[in-house]
A and B are shown apart, each in its own frame.
Chain A
Amino acid sequence: MPTKQTFAEVFQSRGISRRDFLKFCSLTSVSLGLAPALLPKVIHAMETKPRTPVIWLHGLECTCCTESFIRSSHPVMADILFNMISLDYDDTLSAAAGHQLEDVRSKIMKEYNGKYILAVEGNIPLKDDGVYCMTGGNSFLNVVKEVAAGAAAVVAWGACASFGCVQNAHPNPTGAVPIDKVIKDKPIVKVPGCPPISEVMTGVITHFHTFGTLPELDRMGRPKAFYATRIHDKCYRRAFYDAGMFVRGFDEESTRKGWCLYKMGCKGPTTYNSCSKIQWNEGTSFPIGSGHPCIGCSEPGFWDKGPFYTRLADVSFLGTDTTADQIGMVAVGAAAAGAAAHAAVTAVKKKNDKETEK
């Protein structure tokens, strides 16, 4: 295997000027939330460090993370980031297939032992020894364990690998679990979303390449730079929310006026992601921007969190057909009725007692 090129060399070989290279570096530092003083460090790393080898595994998933990743869209970053991470093994994107490809994987694992990044897309079915997901004649469970053993860090791409997605929604027939239930001894960075935003994905890799460590993570193991605030906090429709101007039906005038989708079941207020900041596809739009409520795809267990078009207050309670509010009101009514009945019994008893006294 040839010596890995540095990022700067890749840029040069693709005919991109040093000026554009520096622009890219500053853009990356900004998107990672770094202080300007750290820019030289980023540039230095890009110029001197060989590209980080990445082994990208696909488990029980729909490949939407890959679809998103290959659309990483900042003009210069686009295909360059894709090349520069040195994606040495990815069974979906590689030209090679079969034994050839599997040989590459074992070669990287040997040569870069303890240095490569393992990127996992999709989750791992555990039921019946993991037979519900087989790759290259082996169960995905075994493959992940094998590759993770020599990895410097693990990146959990997407809702599947981070928290579990539609595969481990109730009743979870294959016993699918997110990656952190299987790999416990490696640093894991979760990049949830279905799919995650491409710039977020490339940003995480760039951070690792620059500093050799994972970005700062929040309590849920997500990079703080992208998952610190909710969609709601940076939503361009927030003014409508604060004003109390809500869309009440998709065929209403308020929908055309672009009012807040809170009452349409928007999960923006409980969803941590960067959609309302970075947006999608070169900053074209994001679900709320297109008039659709957020479904909270980067939150744990979002498939099981009630209907997508229903606000939390109208969500059914504990698998019943009634909402928590209806049950609450019935309980309060029952308490009132109980109190009335108890009062009646008390009155009767008192009357009887008085009569027996006489």
Chain B
Amino acid sequence: MADKVLMKGNEALAEAALRAGCEAFFGYPITPQTELAAYMAKRMPKEGGVYLQAESEIGAINMVYGAAGAGARCMTSTSSPGMSLKSEGISYIAGADLPAVIVNVMRGGPGLGGIQPSQADYWQATRATGHGDFHPIVLAPSTVQEMASSIHEAFELADEYRTPVIVLIDGMLGQMMEPVELPEKKETKKDKPWAVTGHGGKRAQNVINSLNLDTPGLERMNFERFERYEKIKENEQQAETYMTEDADIIIVAFGACARVSRTAVDKAREAGIKVGLIRPITLVPFTSDAIEEVVDQAKAFLTVEMNMGQMVEDVCLVVAGRAPVEFFGHTGGIIPTPNEVLEQVEKLNAEKGGDA
């Protein structure tokens, strides 16, 4: 087993990306993701890969489009305002069925907002990363270790389903240090016969393209893409459950909020309240299976988010009126505290006639 090292989330993710075979990184400075780009600037040239600071987020994501089209395992990282600028390129990447990884270290918004941690881009990541009918895969790690482990998976999913994959984290996870066991370097070079490399006179022309002026043709492309999305939904849902077996109150939270909620669950359990936690690791596909499993036993659901209530709508869609779904959150860079979450749990427990 490799030794554990103490690393910031942003840096651990960058190092793990290199070990996952990332060959090209394009970025633009923005807080709180900066360490990630800085780490890449230092390490990528030594690994023989491409590091380039683009003229803008738009430039960076279009470089990712180019590098992905050229067959490279590639990524970019940004924070919330930068993500809005990247949405154009992400739509083209989805439309051209290219594999690429985009990291968003979220901060408070809208507009310039703030630079403290936030989960305000949940809707953007899951519903509106760009124009047109598509969605990326969205992963939401909640520890530095998981940030390091999930980046390899992100690249693999991107390649397998030929889709952009967003790793959605918040400023807290990006900035904090935890011991991390870095994954071993993997040779993951995939055969990409569709990539533009120069045909060498040996094959027909390859074209990377999202344009299709033939309407039935474009519809077919969209149908095919959504068939892939169905497979993703069937095969790739991931959630961690904590003390849900006998729980009648189920907290649903991801990322930093899941950590806060986990502490709240421990405190509530000490007080005898039967509460558990579902932590979606994949936000797209949403972890409906994990919620479905507990929906019959649950007296109430509570989502805890660092926004005004976004994921709560996905939980409502799954629960479909079979139990009340409540929301608790903070915005603007404020991280909910375990005691605040505990208070919500106690209130729900009293209202729903829990055991304690």
The answer to whether A and B come from one shared complex is: no
Which B residues lie at the A interface, using CB under 8 A? none
Which A residues lie at the B interface, using CB under 8 A? none
